[in-house]
Amino acid sequence: MKNLKYIFLILIINSCGIVGISDINKKLGNSYHFLGEGGAQSYIYYTSSSSGRYPSIEEISIWPTVLSFDYDENFIIAKQSPDEKTIKQCLMFFKDKSSESADSIMKTDTFFLNMFARDTCYWIINKKDKVIKGPYNFSSFQKEKSIIGVPNKLHLRK
């Protein structure tokens, strides 16, 4: 039974992007990072720690799955396809919630409702002010980029 607990814990941690041989941990500047393991396990997070540890749930800036991103010294832009299964597993693990509690959070919290209302979400992070804007649809994202002065040199893969 104890071994089964450890196996379950490893599976949960792995699906939240916490361990893996093929991790990509890219520094994006101003303590922002991209962590990806391929598939649904990719997100952007902020941490003031330089310990190289993995982020806590409160530090996740853009939840899985980050499909594409670009950045400069001031901004990060990102394209995301929200992965409900992975996000639910992360909520269960990091918040020590049951499956029912995680479902409840995802179905009642305005942040998650807005994110899951779209197949594709677009985000803008102002790194200096630590402000995260989104989720946007593509046209609203383009307008907001123009309003706040995100340089045209920043592009997202299609």
Domain hosting residue 108, numbered range = 2-148
**Long-range contacts (CB closer than 8 Å, 24 or more residues apart) made by 51-60:** 54/17, 54/18, 56/94, 57/90, 57/91, 57/94, 57/95, 60/90
- Is 156 part of any domain? no
- Is 100 part of any domain? yes
Kindly report, residue by residue over 17-60, the tens digit of the pLDDT: 444 445 788 999 999 999 987 666 899 999 877 655 667 788 89
- Is 154 part of any domain? no
- Is 157 part of any domain? no
- Is 153 part of any domain? no
Give the residues across from 33 on adjacent strands: 27, 45
* Predicted TM-score of the model (pTM): 0.81
Would the pLDDT of 146 be above 90?
yes
Query: Within a 13 Å sphere around the CA of 97, how many CA atoms are in the beta-carbon half?
Result: 17
- Is 158 part of any domain? no
Mean pLDDT of the chain: 85
CA 49 to centroid of chain Cα atoms: 18
Say how far apart CA 151 and CA 145 lie, in whole Å: 8
- Is 122 part of any domain? yes
Q: Where are the alpha helices (DSSP H) in 16-137?
A: 84-94, 99-108, 110-116
Q: Number of structural domains, the chain? A: 1
Q: How high is the pLDDT of residue 16? A: 53
Structure tokens at 27: 């520094």
